[in-house]
Amino acid sequence: MEGFEQLPLWEDYEPQVDDYVIWDRGRGDCNKGWVYFKCDEYITIETSIKPKPPCQLAQSKHKYIHTLLLCQRYNWHQLEYVKSRKKEHI
């Protein structure tokens, strides 16, 4: 399938910025989104964005409000890699 990378099942997944992931924590608790930030201890997953109200646009250089979910390194084994986006499409 073009545009997708097959990951071997025996290798641990190391999330990267701009990967689309599914985090299934069990018990029906599942979140999907783009990896927005990564450091050694955790990643953040962008689960949604919405436009800022017009009254806030003048106070900030950012146009959107981002909803981010924190995923600690010890939970990375619960992540399922779906795809990556290319930098020029961000």
Query: Is 8 among the domain residues?
Result: no
Q: According to the model, what pLDDT value does residue 21 have?
A: 97
Classify residue 67: in a domain, yes or no: yes
**Maximum Cα–Cα distance for the chain, whole Å?**
51
Does residue 21 contact residue 36 with C-beta atoms inside 8 Å? no
Residue 59 lies in a domain: yes
Domain count, the chain: 1
Q: Name the more confident of 29 and 23.
A: 23
Residue pLDDT, tens place only, 36-60: 999 999 999 999 999 998 888 777 7
Answer yes or no: are the C-beta atoms of 85 and 34 closer than 8 Å. yes
Q: Which domain holds residue 40?
A: 19-85
In whole numbers, what is the pLDDT of the chain averaged over residues?
87
More confident residue, 34 or 90: 34
Per the model's pLDDT, the better-predicted residue between 88 and 56 turns out to be 56
Residues with Cβ within 8 Å of 47's Cβ and at least 6 positions away in sequence, in order, are 31, 32, 33, 67, 68, 69
